[in-house]
Structure 1
Amino acid sequence: MRVITFGTFDVFHVGHLRILERAREYGDFLVAGVSTDSMNYSKKGRYPVYDQNERLQIIQALRCVDKVFFEESMELKRHYIESHLADILVMGDDWAGKFDEFSDICRVVYLPRTPSVSTTAIIEKIRIPKS
């Protein structure tokens, strides 16, 4: 079974690792789409801390991930699922229900997020206050 997931994976933390490891448990091949910088800006109004090439290299280095590619657009999710021959789409439950439309081509699974861990919270915590 081939599994696909997507994410920005900025300021990589244990929550990212856990969701990727849990996604891999659903099959024997895990494909991860890493959001491009421009896609992240269009979704969140800010660029990631780490650029897309650095984030891709981090995800590519993980044992649980077999293949990595750049996700350039939310509108291309169906294409990515089909072109990577995914049997299962795994996403965090913060996306619950948003990808059910793909249940016609694959199983859609939403996993609970790791409690008390968020990239935004980490960035805010380490941000140096302006004097």
Structure 2
Amino acid sequence: MPHTVGYAPGVYDLFHIGHLNILRHARSRCDYLVAGVVSDEMAALAKGNRPVIPLVERLEIVRSIRYVDAAFVETVPDKLETWQQVRFDVIFKGDDWRGTPKGEKLESDFRPVGVEVVYFPYTVHTSSTQLRGALDALAGGAAATLSRGAEG
């Protein structure tokens, strides 16, 4: 009986419904799901800023989701290098990667080793970037209120 190992990489910062949806859908497409939790340093390289939630906490949150069989700390940008350590059969990404240079590179990198790239619908209405922006705006508003209070 074939045993399909799936890999769902992500920063998983400010865990939200989009993260849960990816993990749920991924688990339905494999027998064993490994969630790759991107390190703080790798997230900063990829997104330009460090996650709000520290790695050890993000790892514990993701590891505790019932759809996840194992969590792996991703410390290198090359997914093929990660594959050499984890040995998954399918990798799951949001469909915002489909048809982009990053998505096409992912597909061409994995084609020779037989790893399938599966895209799931990206949760447009909720993202960690949007949540971070809202938090930053709230923090900015609070700082402005505090400074106005100090002036008055």
> TM class by shorter-chain length?
over 0.9
Distance 1:83 1:46 in 2: 26
Asked if 1:32 is matched to 2:41, the reply is no
Asked if 1:114 is matched to 2:117, the reply is no
* More divergent stretch after superposition (21-30 vs 121-130): 121-130
Q: Which has the higher contact order (CA 8 A, sep 6+)?
A: 1
Distance 2:89 2:111 in 1: 10
Q: Quick one: which amino acid aligns to residue 30 of structure 1?
A: L
Q: Percent identity?
A: 36
Indicate the residue corresponding to 1:68 in structure 2: 71
Assess if the C-alpha contact under 8 Å between 1:81 and 1:89 holds in 2: no
Q: Point out the structure with the larger helix share.
A: 2
**Pairs within 5 Å for 1:73-88:** 73-75=76-78, 77-88=79-90
Assess if the C-alpha contact under 8 Å between 2:76 and 2:82 holds in 1: no
Give the Å deviation of 1:26.
Answer: 0.8
Q: Which entry has the higher C-alpha Rg, 1 or 2?
A: 2
Distance 2:83 2:68 in 1: 16
Q: Please give the secondary structure, in 1, of the residue aligned with 2:96.
A: helix
Assess if the C-alpha contact under 8 Å between 2:95 and 2:120 holds in 1: yes
Give the Å deviation of 1:115.
Answer: 2.9
Normalising by structure 1, report the TM-score.
0.92
Indicate the residue corresponding to 2:94 in structure 1: 92
Assess if the C-alpha contact under 8 Å between 1:40 and 1:48 holds in 2: yes
Normalising by structure 2, report the TM-score.
0.80
Residues paired across the two proteins, number: 130
Q: 2:112 aligns with which of 88, 104, 109?
A: 104
Q: Quick one: which amino acid aligns to residue 112 of structure 1?
A: P
Which 5+ residue runs of structure 1 have no aligned equivalent?
Answer: none
Assess if the C-alpha contact under 8 Å between 2:9 and 2:38 holds in 1: yes
**Pairs within 5 Å for 1:10-25:** 10-25=13-28
